[in-house]
């Protein structure tokens, strides 16, 4: 018995000694090595999600069948017949044939009312002598051109059908989100009732380079013939009119562009009510902010629209907008680039009220602004578009009167004399021109007879004064 107890005690004592030695020497050294390794490591630490994927395959894939079925009945095939004159050949002369040739262009359109109003692109119907519409059920109708807007590339047509037609319901394009599923419906390459799917890739895209556009960008396939067709969301609402692609080949290469429905709807409503588009003007000049412009303007933010000048008697001036203000939001639209601002204003009319959120002296404030009428007027007898001179141009060029040429389609004044965009007209027939109102008064006196134009004084794009005498 004593031998057994002695053996147990010796074994226990040996275990205690072994454990103590391990804790004292070996584990201590391991801890030191581990701590040293963590301290000297240069590998960064990244957050990693270990959440398992619970759904695979097509369990949550969107079903477009109902939306596509309804949408194809609201989209029509537009045929545009133009007459072109070609040089007469000997064969034409001997056979007594005319040198005129009929050319047919095709595109798409969207029915927007049960009584036959159809929206399409201006470039689809431009120069037409005859327009015909083919419905999805193959009925064909002659179409009447109600009106167009070249700036937004929107046109409104009308057909007279025997009964009510299926029509698209406008959605709110401001609420469309990047990543949202959309369908493009149209007639590419004369293939009727074609539906393609994609997502919204971006919003407020400007392809012009001069901040005139605000497209919805999508990767739904769009090709020649899709122009004027529908871009619809998964509820079947019309959120855009397919308008353009950018491609070196002229065919779809991955993305396309649509006029937002809010802009398109406002344009056709203006055409129906007023006969032309009513543009509401904020009355500010400036540019969008980025790292370079923020440094130039000495501001601490890289997003928003910097106000470099406020036009005289504009809604912005009356509301208290000042030079140096930064427009951060207009109503509920965040302004990160100029096309955000110009696109939203394209949906507004004169006398509409918008709420501007401004950054001024480091703090934000929101003020209501009543939009004013456009300062641009078309002068028919001169075939030019003219506008009042902005205050900053007056100041920088030491000019106190005149109107700026925005567009010149008068062959003699443009081709022969070189009067172009940016020229300033200061005098016509001995009368000083201070504002567009003076031009309008002159128009009332002279009518549309450009032969009554005797003398014109201008300031050219180099700042030099020139005078022209017409005989």
Residues annotated as part of the active site: 123, 153, 227
Q: CB–CB of 71/50 below 8 Å?
A: no
CA 282, CA 379: separation in Å to the nearest integer? 23
Q: Which of 231, 243, 267, 233 is nearest to 347 (CA)?
A: 267
Q: Which of 138, 136, 137, 131 is nearest to 158 (CA)?
A: 131
Q: How many Cα atoms occupy the beta-carbon half-sphere of 61 within 13 Å?
A: 9
CA 303, CA 421: separation in Å to the nearest integer? 30
| Residue 466 burial class via C-beta count within 10 angstroms: exposed 0-12, middle 13-18, buried 19 and up | middle
Sign, Cα dihedral of 34, 36, 40, 45 = positive
Residue 87 contacts by C-beta under 8 Å, 6 or more apart in sequence? Answer: 99
Q: Which of 209, 371, 405, 385 is nearest to 284 (CA)?
A: 371
Residue with tokens 């929101």: 366
CA 69, CA 444: separation in Å to the nearest integer? 55
């Amino acid at each position: 018995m004593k031998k057994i107890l002695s053996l147990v005690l010796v074994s226990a004592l040996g275990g205690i000694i072994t454990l103590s030695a391990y804790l004292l020497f070996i584990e201590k050294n391991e801890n030191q090595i581990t701590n040293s390794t963590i301290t000297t490591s240069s590998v960064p630490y990244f957050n990693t999600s270990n959440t398992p994927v619970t759904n695979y395959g097509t369990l949550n894939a969107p079903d477009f069948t109902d939306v596509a079925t309804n949408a194809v009945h609201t989209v029509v095939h537009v045929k545009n017949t133009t007459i072109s004159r070609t040089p007469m050949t000997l064969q034409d002369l001997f056979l007594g044939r005319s040198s005129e040739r009929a050319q047919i262009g095709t595109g798409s359109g969207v029915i927007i009312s049960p009584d036959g109003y159809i929206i399409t692109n201006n470039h689809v119907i431009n120069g037409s002598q005859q327009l015909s519409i083919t419905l999805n059920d193959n009925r064909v109708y002659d179409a009447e051109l109600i009106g167009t807007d070249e700036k937004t590339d929107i046109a409104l047509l009308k057909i007279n059908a025997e009964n009510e037609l299926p029509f698209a319901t406008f959605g709110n394009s401001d609420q469309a989100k990047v990543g949202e599923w959309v369908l493009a419906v149209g007639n590419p390459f004369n293939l009727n009732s074609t539906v393609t799917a994609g997502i919204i890739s971006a919003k407020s895209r400007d392809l012009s380079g001069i901040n005139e556009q605000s497209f919805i960008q999508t990767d739904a396939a769009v090709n020649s013939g899709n122009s004027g067709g529908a871009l619809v969301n998964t509820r079947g609402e019309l959120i855009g009119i397919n308008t353009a692609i950018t491609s070196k080949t002229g065919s779809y290469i991955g993305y396309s562009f649509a006029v937002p429905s809010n802009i398109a709807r406002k344009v056709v409503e203006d055409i129906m009510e007023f006969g032309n588009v009513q543009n509401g003007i904020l009355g500010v000049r400036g540019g969008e902010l980025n790292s370079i412009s923020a440094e130039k303007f000495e501001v601490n933010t890289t997003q928003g629209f910097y106000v470099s000048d406020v036009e005289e008697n504009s809604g912005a001036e009356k509301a208290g907008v000042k030079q140096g203000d930064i427009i951060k939001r207009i109503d509920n639209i965040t302004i990160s680039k100029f096309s955000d601002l110009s696109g939203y204003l394209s949906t507004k009319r004169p006398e509409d009220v918008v709420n501007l959120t401004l950054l001024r002296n480091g703090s934000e404030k929101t003020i209501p602004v009543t939009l004013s009428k456009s300062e641009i007027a078309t002068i028919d007898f001169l075939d030019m578009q003219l506008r009042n001179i902005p205050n900053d141009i007056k100041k920088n060029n030491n000019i106190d009167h005149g109107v700026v040429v925005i567009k010149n389609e008068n062959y003699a004044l443009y081709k022969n004399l070189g009067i172009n965009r940016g020229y300033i007209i200061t005098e016509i027939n001995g009368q000083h021109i201070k504002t567009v109102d003076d031009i309008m008064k002159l128009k009332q006196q002279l009518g549309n007879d450009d032969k009554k134009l005797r003398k014109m004084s201008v300031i050219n794009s180099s700042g030099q004064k020139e005078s022209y005498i017409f005989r």
